[in-house]
Structure 1
Amino acid sequence: MTVVNEWMAGTRFGGWVQRCRESRRLVLVIVAIALLLDNMLLTTVVPIIPEFLYDINHPDAPLDGHVRGTTTTTTPPPPVPISCQQMNQNINYSNTAAPTEIYNFTTLDPEAVQQELRHKDLVQETVEVGMMFASKAFVQLLANPFVGPLTHKIGYSVPMFAGFIIMFLSTIIFAFGRSYSVLFIARALQGIGSSCSSVSGMGMLAERYPDDKERGNAMGIALGGLALGVLIGPPFGGLMYEFVGKSAPFLVLSALALGDGLLQLLMLQPAVVRQDSDPPSLKALVSDPYIIIAAGAITFANMGIAMLEPSLPIWMIDTMGADKWKQGVTFLPASISYLIGTNLFGPLGHKMGRWLAALLGLIVIGVCLMLIPLATSMNHLIIPNAGLGFAIGMVDSSMMPELGYLVDIRHSAVYGSVYAIGDVAFCLGFAIGPAMSGTLVKTIGFEWMLFGIAILNFLYAPLLYCLKSPPTKEEKKSLITGEKSSVRYVTYQNEEDDE
């Protein structure tokens, strides 16, 4: 009887597992968790790396230590220095009061000198930090054209699981890395894992949710996982680094990543799956102007926040003397509002028109970027950062499902390559932004850097009107056929005129 009960319990458990594997909601949860952890790792380093690298390069004067060159003493001030000319003239001041002019002898304030040196060091470090942050996006950018077509050949589950393995290794390296080069490698390695996770995850959702409205809602939820990772990452990293240590946040992330990998292994059962229909070529998708416009909106929307990631914490240290936890918490309003924006404009973008939601989002992004340099305290950053995050959520949650819709109506319903393009667009923003931010801060300043990217957003926004009613595959074919017929008619007419 006991054997029978165990067999029945096993059968019920097996049936439950099988139902879970067939559930598209579970797939949505797995994709959302993968994006959450990937972006937690992406943003946890934001408040950690600038100060950690500065302390490595300046072990005698860490940012939270005493200012170099200053001493605390209770002894009386030293005698006023006497110039060489006065010494040569054998002037004796021992029996007379020191003249006022001698006390007004100007000397450099050691603290002011130290502040100036620290300012130069921080500006120089912006370049190094920007290059490190950009390395992940550059590597992801290079990997995407390979991962997209690969999903057409072997399916989405195997690249998804490979992304987990690579992210786990990257997290461990971050935990124990103690030099710029090792941390740079960890950041670049994360780019390969992110490419596998994001391209496979979005393609999997597009396949499981063929209805355009449901797909928009599902991708809004998945991007909500991404937003939650961006939301938790900076304050989590800043607080753990200040009160526990540099390795602690990455060890916690590695444990969470391990749990996600086990969930994928149990529920997705990674295996090679061939696609039934012929996928559109990457060249055909890249040459589609409507797909390029949608992808470009994602690039410009994310470029501003990407420029802020390496430069804003250092700017806050330089102008506000911000502590570690403040550098992390400053991104909190943007992350919260991004989470709201992605979940709100998943369904709302479908109703009002995704092109319009993205257009308004780019305009709001430009306004918020212009307001950030005007802040004189951390409180002044709350509203522009919140508006920035909400507007980026408008663009991302509108354009990601729009890419799938454009493939459906203009190509064939195979999604790996189009979401590789979408991820390339996302990576371009996060590659160009940090890579250029250090150089731009040095040459034109923090303020003009943000004004420039704001103007680019304003100029790009009107192009999204083209996505209001893009032609379908049949309309495109009829248009091409009509053009060919017109050419043949003109040629025939010219031949008759010649005769």
Structure 2
Amino acid sequence: MSSTVLARPRQRWTGLAVLVLAVTLVAVDATVLSLAIPSISETLRPSGTQLLWIGDAYSFVLAGLLVSMGSLSDRIGRKKLLLAGSSAFGAASLLAAYAPSAGWLILARALLGVAGATIMPSTLSLIRSLFPDDRERATAIGIWGAAATAGAALGPVVGGVLLEHFWWGSVFLLNIPVLVLLLVLGAWLLPESKDPKPGRWDVLSVLLSLAGVIGVVYAIKEAAAHGVARWDVPVAAVLGAAALTVFVRRQLRLPAPLLDVRLFADRRFTGAVLASLTALIGLSGVVFVTSQYLQLVRGYEPLKAGLAELPAFAGAVVGGLLTARLARRTGARAALTLGLLAMGIGLGLIGWVHQDTTYLLLAAAFLIVGTAEGVVYTLGADLVLGAAPADKAGAASAVSETAYELGTALGIALVGSVVGALYTGALAVPAEAGAVATARAGESLGGAVEAAHGLPRTVAGPLLGSARDAFVHGMNVAAVLAGALLLAASALAWRLLKGLPRAAQERAAQEHAGRAQAEQERAAQEHAGRAQAEQERAAQEHAGRAQAEQERAAQEHAGRAQAEQERAAQVPENVGA
């Protein structure tokens, strides 16, 4: 791998701080919008489907392009792509902030996804370049994962503060000063790193991966919301699956593929990816739904709602930082499986939350889900990155990031769609509400709140009560289903990751043997160096003594010769006298 690696530890960790800033920015943008959904609904009046697309267009495009952009970073340079993508991220943020309609906002969110796809794999692959040592890299990835989660935590809080004083577009303008700082520090502190023999970047593979991911995810989202009877659902599913099939076959034939799909033949690699994917489905889906629950059901202001969700993100930060220590004690297999199991239990607790439930139950569920997700995602990212060759770090990190973003998109799509479908089925609108209010209330809970504003109190009260009951019912069922998914994922991970502790022990033994050999070589080099230095010193002393002896002998000889000449010169004088 061609790279300019920061040699001194302080420089490496300073470079990590810049990467942490980048990943925090992208994470903030993924969650900052959740609290703005009610404000956006009131201002732009999106339909229920548009509201879902506003929430997940960013993650869909990001997930579809991560592998392609990770491979591109291997080719043109990870630092270069990171800085270019950061500039594009700023431009798309401006467009989103001043979007005049729901359609424009969806477009801006998609463009943010394109730019974000250049940032995320670059950060993780640069960590691989900065930290070649396994132990240091595990710590760095833990910090990186904690930063991503901290950014997700800051999103609702900072967004809540902004929404208290400004319009919803201000949540996107928050990106601009951070991006300026990132561009300045990144250009100065980060090393360049890329594959020395990258091969051609296959544009057809890029299009196939994008079409495949978006097609499959769209089909899942629409099927969850409306069933499979609509013609576009099976068409999108078939086209997406076909595109992914062609993509995989093409990667197997290409001499320089965008993604080495053979990595998935390793059960442990596949298990780590699936664990990360399902963990993010659970976390993102819960955050998306509970943000609306806290504001529209419990009546929290945006800032209070953001603070109420902090236990989930604080737990994820702690979980990410403690992952390396936990994995060393219990083994990676046990740590990953227990993390998924704990997430399932935490999600199940949300199934017991109702309109008047104490906040402590929700806080406990948030804390359990967040802490477990921090462990699962951080450990999964380390396993995925460690399985790939160093010169393919960009593409490998893109796999981990694709799981992150695809999980986020699927979580919003699946959980949001299930809640929406159950909400529509359970909603009972008073006949006095009228056709317009009935249609608006049937789209979403936010629509019901808006429709109630123009109705008499005797009609608005029953409408809001029914809408909130229907939403909470949908949230409970979706949370239980998500918990069941995580429990199933824990069993699958335990099976797929079989042999991981043994592999970890072998790796530890190899590291120990490597350190012992390095220590022996260092001692031998020091001994040889001391022996050579001693020989050189003795030779120099001998040469010095010989030279001094020669000089002394020469001086004595010259002195005797001069004395002889003086004596001979004095003899004639004496004779004459």
TM-score norm. by structure 2 comes to 0.62
Aligned partner of 1:257: which letter? L
**CA distance in 2: counterparts of 1:128 and 1:325, whole angstroms:** 25
CA apart distance, 1:379: 4.1
1:288 is aligned to 2:318: no
- Residue equivalent to 1:451: 480
**Contact 2:33 2:171 survives alignment (8 Å):** no
**CA distance in 1: counterparts of 2:359 and 2:98, whole angstroms:** 31
Q: How does 1:20-419 map to 2 (within 5 A)?
A: 23-57=11-45, 125=48, 127-268=49-190, 274=196, 282-375=260-353, 376-407=357-388, 414-419=392-397
Task: Extract unaligned runs of 5+ from structure 1.
Answer: 1-17, 59-123, 476-499
**CA distance in 2: counterparts of 1:232 and 1:282, whole angstroms:** 35
**CA distance in 1: counterparts of 2:198 and 2:56, whole angstroms:** 37
Aligned partner of 1:469: which letter? G
Aligned partner of 1:383: which letter? A
SS of 1:322's partner is coil
CA apart distance, 1:47: 0.4
**CA distance in 2: counterparts of 1:346 and 1:316, whole angstroms:** 34
**CA distance in 2: counterparts of 1:213 and 1:405, whole angstroms:** 11
**Contact 2:39 2:168 survives alignment (8 Å):** no
Cα deviation 1:408-464 (Å, max 9, x = unaligned): 5xxx66312221111111122111111223321133422111111111111111233
**Contact 1:152 1:275 survives alignment (8 Å):** no
**Contact 1:285 1:418 survives alignment (8 Å):** no
**Contact 2:82 2:122 survives alignment (8 Å):** yes
**CA distance in 2: counterparts of 1:386 and 1:194, whole angstroms:** 28
SS of 1:246's partner is coil
CA apart distance, 1:388: 1.0
Cα deviation 1:334-387 (Å, max 9, x = unaligned): 111111111111343244222211111111111111112323244432111111
- Residue equivalent to 1:469: 499
Cα deviation 1:73-107 (Å, max 9, x = unaligned): xxxxxxxxxxxxxxxxxxxxxxxxxxxxxxxxxxx
SS of 2:392's partner is coil
CA apart distance, 1:166: 2.2
Indicate how the Cα distance of structure 1 residues 128 and 246 shifts in structure 2: closer, same or farther if over 3 A, else same: same
**Contact 1:47 1:238 survives alignment (8 Å):** yes
**CA distance in 2: counterparts of 1:379 and 1:182, whole angstroms:** 39
- Residue equivalent to 1:108: none
Task: Extract unaligned runs of 5+ from structure 2.
Answer: 1-5, 200-254, 423-473, 507-577
**CA distance in 2: counterparts of 1:249 and 1:453, whole angstroms:** 29
Indicate how the Cα distance of structure 1 residues 154 and 351 shifts in structure 2: closer, same or farther if over 3 A, else same: farther
**CA distance in 2: counterparts of 1:340 and 1:289, whole angstroms:** 28
Aligned partner of 1:396: which letter? Y
Q: How does 1:478-493 map to 2 (within 5 A)?
A: none
**Contact 1:161 1:270 survives alignment (8 Å):** no
Say which structure is richer in helix: 2
**Contact 2:320 2:375 survives alignment (8 Å):** yes
CA apart distance, 1:305: 1.8
**CA distance in 1: counterparts of 2:307 and 2:194, whole angstroms:** 43
Q: How does 1:411-430 map to 2 (within 5 A)?
A: 414-430=392-408
Indicate how the Cα distance of structure 1 residues 52 and 462 shifts in structure 2: closer, same or farther if over 3 A, else same: same
Cα deviation 1:10-40 (Å, max 9, x = unaligned): xxxxxxxx98899221221111110111111
**Contact 2:129 2:193 survives alignment (8 Å):** no
Could you say which structure has the greater relative contact order, defined with CA pairs below 8 angstroms and 6 or more residues apart? 1
Indicate how the Cα distance of structure 1 residues 217 and 231 shifts in structure 2: closer, same or farther if over 3 A, else same: same
SS of 1:419's partner is helix
Work out which of the two has the higher radius of gyration on C-alpha atoms and give 1 or 2. 2
**CA distance in 1: counterparts of 2:74 and 2:44, whole angstroms:** 45
Indicate how the Cα distance of structure 1 residues 360 and 271 shifts in structure 2: closer, same or farther if over 3 A, else same: closer
**CA distance in 2: counterparts of 1:311 and 1:51, whole angstroms:** 15
Cα deviation 1:173-220 (Å, max 9, x = unaligned): 232223211221222122222221111111111232222222110100
**CA distance in 2: counterparts of 1:469 and 1:287, whole angstroms:** 15
1:460 is aligned to 2:460: no
CA apart distance, 1:272: 6.7
